[in-house]
Structure 1
């Protein structure tokens, strides 16, 4: 296994889902589950190059040299054979599909995993399918299972979580609960895979390994729909209103199905502290923010003293790319994992629902930057109209909504823009002007 870990230490940093670019992994094996039916292995490996350490899920298979797709090749195994990423291997994907649609167990109670089928009788998955890895996935690996010719079952998309944490992943927990409650604004849950393992410190834990849900064929996400509408100067108000209603419906349902708590001083301090830490990082990496630093802190201070609603479970990383426009269900919300840069223990806690509202308003703002480099007046007017319609749709469904003058909304929008300034500086420097322009509007000087 040492040789394979050495190969993985070279291969993993080249994968989009690897979370610590630019540093050499320090890998140790956490779990190794043989998959006899698939002639493969499901590995959990811990990377101690960062603290806290990250545990990755890596399914592998030994296959004949030349039969493996180039991007899946990990390195040499026995003579004439190679190690490969099993997510592109037919035998492994067939086993994964069976776990989430039928069920099954591998290994033991504290060292193995179980597949749990969740589909309702109305949501009948196909029996014979062909799997394809979804291109463009970043923090996870998603596979689309389409029914073979003659099979009338529904297509399924299954997300294999690459970073694995103790506890139920919020994507599984929240989406399954909403779907079970009859919500039309999330995909139907099909099944999940949940693992149990012993940490290197000897602590038994369990966590989510995969989650499968209804797949909507041939639809576009809200980002593309909004981008096309803005470019064509099409009125988006009715669709933005409906999107606001869907987001509010999500918050209402989550507040009914999960505990809510009144925020105390510690809760407020934790949120405000996160704003301040993010601002400190931004000021060190984005020097253009320095003139706005005091004004940003003033906005945060006002929000800290304002009235706060009860804390509840939220989406946590809501933007137009996390929403699909479907003919049957209207707007459908996806990916409830929360903001990838936030620690998992933060993402599992009750939060301020306005975080999601602010995320969507910021996403609409990005449309103006993507459509018009000069932030043209016509596109800017389109964005403002869409944002106002979104807030109105939210208000009429939730019975309460922040408006343009809500100090808590202003602070969360500003924090999101600060986050975006960091992200764009690190990854897309040509786009950093979008959040910087927003910060100028949200925290104006003088």
Structure 2
């Protein structure tokens, strides 16, 4: 019997007894025994959001043995944990950030999994066992696909499926993402595992499902997903844990395509135009699928107040921004003035973090948009709130500028042509050119550039001149 087949047999035999054992003394004693290992391992992970602040403790939200250790201890166990990491100065997350961990447990770790090792448990119910990052283990990865192939519940976990999924697809771990983790199955599907999780539907599941119902082919439709219902979820909403979508085989990342264009001296205008049209089609479908509340005077005032607040906070943190604050404020004041005249706009759900790296072009030239999670650092309710579509447009315009600035020598004409082509393509798809409301476009691009200045100053100081060049332009621009 193959390893994958034996995993499926073990899975079928263990389902009933897992549910019975999920709240016993074994589970109660589990977290204290793992805490020393988690203290060392968790802050080093790329997807850990609390870097720079010490972890003061952990609390267990839920524990599920998806695959219990066999009695002989020869095969792996898979332990699914939802754990809160407590840190100082987390006023926005009073109870600590909640993380999803998929931990493999073995008596002896094979050499091929050495890099995934977390450590050996010294006491508690897993004493003497070796703990490791389970997603690196093909047998564990195969088990996750089996769970998604067979909808149902397992303790607090619920697995749902929108279409049949074939078995026997070889898994491979993608070691490229920052805020999540992904597995590819046979170049047919990609499973995104959300690491930092929140009560409520994750937009990366919610919006692609809505777009699928509208027949929009610009976003891969979810094939399966899993969620958790936990006792400490005050809202009663489930936590989205993972989404399985078609893997766009042969597709190329928009950011890499843009850099290749710059490096070869080739124009990127046709691609930018097609990408603008693709964005417009997604916006149109989202507006048809979900509510589009009016952004009237009071809401406009709230929108501008948030932009001003972010500008002032960034200026306090980055002194280089201070001389430009008065000029940048005029961009926001212009939107306020429009609100005073009675202007209103239709808000809707949008991508929320659109840039070239969130796009894929297939071998046939067809553009797709991916990663609808929004900015992971923002609270989930904010990411799920309706926004003006121009927010996505501004994000993409800034991305063209970043691409041009990353090339030596800087090619501002390339960025200008791409920006114009993108807006023209958007107008072709939506019927409205985003440049026809220059006050809105300038304000949102300014807000995005301010965010970039703060990010680069904190994380990549060498890149700070990129957004600062935009700040200088935007501070002296009139709508």
1:117 maps to what in 2? 161
Give the stretch that moved more between structures: 66-75 or 362-371.
66-75
Give the stretch that moved more between structures: 414-423 or 214-223.
214-223
Aligned pair partner of 1:227 in 247, 259, 264: 259
Structure having the higher Rg: 2
2:172 maps to what in 1? 132
2:325 maps to what in 1? 293
TM-score, normalisation: structure 1:
0.91
Q: Could you list the runs of 5+ residues in structure 2 that have no partner in the other structure?
A: 1-29, 69-75
1:180 maps to what in 2? 213
2:90 is equivalent to residue 74 of structure 1: no
Contact 2:194/2:241 (8 A) holds in 1: yes
CA shift for structure 1 position 329: 6.6
2:59 is equivalent to residue 21 of structure 1: no
2:39 is equivalent to residue 9 of structure 1: yes
Give the 5 Å matches for 1:212-223. 212-223=244-255
Distance 2:334 2:39 in 1: 47
Give the stretch that moved more between structures: 211-220 or 386-395.
211-220
CA shift for structure 1 position 272: 1.7
Distance 1:169 1:239 in 2: 30
CA shift for structure 1 position 35: 1.1
Distance 2:206 2:128 in 1: 43
CA shift for structure 1 position 139: 0.6
State the Cα RMSD in Å: 2.0
1:341 maps to what in 2? 377
- Tell me, what secondary structure is at the counterpart of 2:413? helix
2:73 maps to what in 1? none
CA shift for structure 1 position 214: 0.7
2:80 is equivalent to residue 32 of structure 1: no
Contact 1:126/1:155 (8 A) holds in 2: no
Contact 1:358/1:409 (8 A) holds in 2: yes
Distance 1:222 1:422 in 2: 24
2:165 is equivalent to residue 167 of structure 1: no
Contact 2:314/2:454 (8 A) holds in 1: yes
After the TM superposition, which segments of 4 or more aligned residues of structure 1 sit over 6 Å from their partners? Answer: none
Q: Could you list the runs of 5+ residues in structure 1 that have no partner in the other structure?
A: 147-153
Distance 1:27 1:80 in 2: 22
Contact 2:158/2:226 (8 A) holds in 1: yes
Distance 2:449 2:158 in 1: 40
1:245 maps to what in 2? 277
1:149 maps to what in 2? none
Contact 2:354/2:395 (8 A) holds in 1: yes
- Tell me, what secondary structure is at the counterpart of 2:349? coil
1:94 maps to what in 2? 142
CA shift for structure 1 position 136: 1.7
TM-score, normalisation: structure 2:
0.85
CA shift for structure 1 position 304: 2.4
CA shift for structure 1 position 180: 3.4
Give the 5 Å matches for 1:102-113. 102-107=150-155, 112-113=156-157
